[in-house]
Amino acid sequence: MDHLYLLVLLSLVLFLPFFVRKVEEQMEYFLFAAGALAATMASCWSPGLIYTAAVIPIKISAAVLVCGTIFEIFAGRIGLMVGRISGRTGKPFFIFLTVIILGLFSSVITAIVAALILSEIISHINLPRDREIKIVVISCFAVGIGAVLTPLGEPLSTIVTGKLSGAPFNAGFMFLFRQFWAYSLSIIVLLAITAAFFTASGKGSAERLKEDKREGFKSVAVRAFKVYVFVAGLVLLGAGFTPAMKTLVPGLSSYMLYWINMVSAVLDNATLAAAEISPALTLLQLKSAMLGLIISGGMLIPGNIPNIICAGKLRIKAVEWAKIGVPAGLIILSLFFVVIIFINL
């Protein structure tokens, strides 16, 4: 019966933000409250859990604060840099490099700061709007996929590393890098080539994407605090759901986990990871579940943090995003499902 109540709570956590605007606007605090409730329902409160929930968010919050502050200091120079470098290299190659660099370094500067940099670059690249949208969507796939490589990159990787820190995985700072660098690198390169192709192809409309407004230092500090609350809530949520998920998820095949996690296209993939990932999974199940989460997360705006930031700042509509994100996600998912089948043989 306790498991039933927890599953009802999980359903509310996943779907309530779609129907209640106040919940969507205050998602971090709502998730923290839901996490506290889940831990209470599962009777798993302990000094160790409180310590873990307090400590795990520190690194990613500090990274968001430091990298976000540095970005604010130098943001005004990005437009000049874009003009100079793209003028020398050509816009297709410049976009290729942008996707590669932001994709790979998002695991260090965080997916949030990478998305802010991307928004600034796109607002100065001076391409037709339809092509700029394609580039943004493809780039956000790369940022989300690259950010998974370290616990600093995004809440999903922070939570997964924390949940797998004990036996049998004993995950440390480089655990996700060792498991996923080849997948991430190959997908990012593929995405960079695709973005460069979109940059060079077609005439497009005369309309451009433009940043809605520039961030301020106060916004950086508020965002860092909200990331702290968000991740702490995910720690509590994961602890509350771990007993239930240990009995449900390990019984699913790696193939099922891969395709089921397509729901992260419409639901935040960090929340799904907090509920789903546990030490009870095999390594193949873990890889399948994680790949399903990080690839599908780019398909629609709600699926990942970089999507939300770029769509909001550049005023990209949900339908415009889906026209690019859904086909791209399905193609990538299909390609790497073959890889999973090969690994499982």
User: What distance in Å separates the CA atoms of residue 81 and residue 104, rounded to the nearest whole number?
Assistant: 20
Please list, in sequence order, all residues whose beta carbon lies within 8 angstroms of the beta carbon of residue 186, skipping any fewer than 6 positions away: none
Summarize the confidence of residues 125-149 as an average pLDDT: 94
> Can you give the pLDDT at residue 81?
86
Closest CA to 183 of 7, 28, 335, 330: 335
pLDDT averaged over the chain?
Answer: 87
Interval 119-125 mean pLDDT: 89
CA distance 332 to 141: 10
**Which is more confident, 290 or 209?**
290
Q: What is the pLDDT of residue 283?
A: 92
Q: Which residue has the tokens 């943004």?
A: 136
Rounded to an integer, the average pLDDT of 14-39 is 83
Q: What is the pLDDT of residue 213?
A: 64
Q: Percent of the chain scored above 90 by pLDDT?
A: 44
Mean pLDDT of 170-194: 95
Going by C-alpha positions, the residue among 16, 4, 32, 19 that lies closest to residue 274 is 32
Give the pLDDT confidence score for residue 144 in this predicted structure: 94
Q: Specify the pLDDT at position 209.
A: 74
Q: Where are the domains of the chain?
A: 2-344
Q: Report the C-alpha gap between 160 and 158 in whole angstroms.
A: 6
pLDDT at residue 313 in the model: 85
Q: pLDDT at position 212, please?
A: 59
Are 265 and 299 within 8 A, CB to CB?
yes
Whether the per-residue pLDDT at 54 is higher than 90: the answer is yes
Label each residue of 79-137 as H, E or C: HHHHHHHHHHHCHHHHHHHHHHHHHHHHHHHCHHHHHHHHHHHHHHHCCCHHHHHHHHH
Q: What percent of the chain has pLDDT over 70?
A: 94
Q: Looking at this protein, which amino acid is placed at residue 299?
A: M
pLDDT higher for 304 or 249?
304
Tell me: pLDDT of 215 over 90. Answer: no
What pLDDT, on the 0 to 100 scale, is given for residue 302? 78
Mean of the pLDDT values across residues 72-100?
Answer: 88
Output 299 or 312, whichever has higher pLDDT. 299
Instruction: Check residue 334 and give its pLDDT.
Output: 94
Q: Is residue 129 within 8 Å of 89, Cβ to Cβ?
A: no
Identify the residue whose tokens are 């193939």. Answer: 255
- Lowest mean pLDDT of 31-45, 81-95, 261-275, 290-304, name the range: 261-275
Task: Please give the pLDDT value at position 205.
Answer: 55
Q: Which tokens hold the place of 16?
A: 């309530």
Summarised one tens digit per residue, pLDDT across range 274-292 is: 888 888 899 999 999 999 9
Q: Is 43 left (phi over 0), alpha (psi -120 to 50) or beta?
A: left
Residues 171-198 have a mean pLDDT of 94
Is residue 333 classed as helix, strand or coil in its secondary structure?
Answer: helix
Q: What per-residue confidence (pLDDT) applies to 204?
A: 54
- Inform me whether the pLDDT recorded for 1 exceeds 50: no
Residue 271 pLDDT more than 50? yes
> What's the average model confidence in pLDDT over 297-321?
88
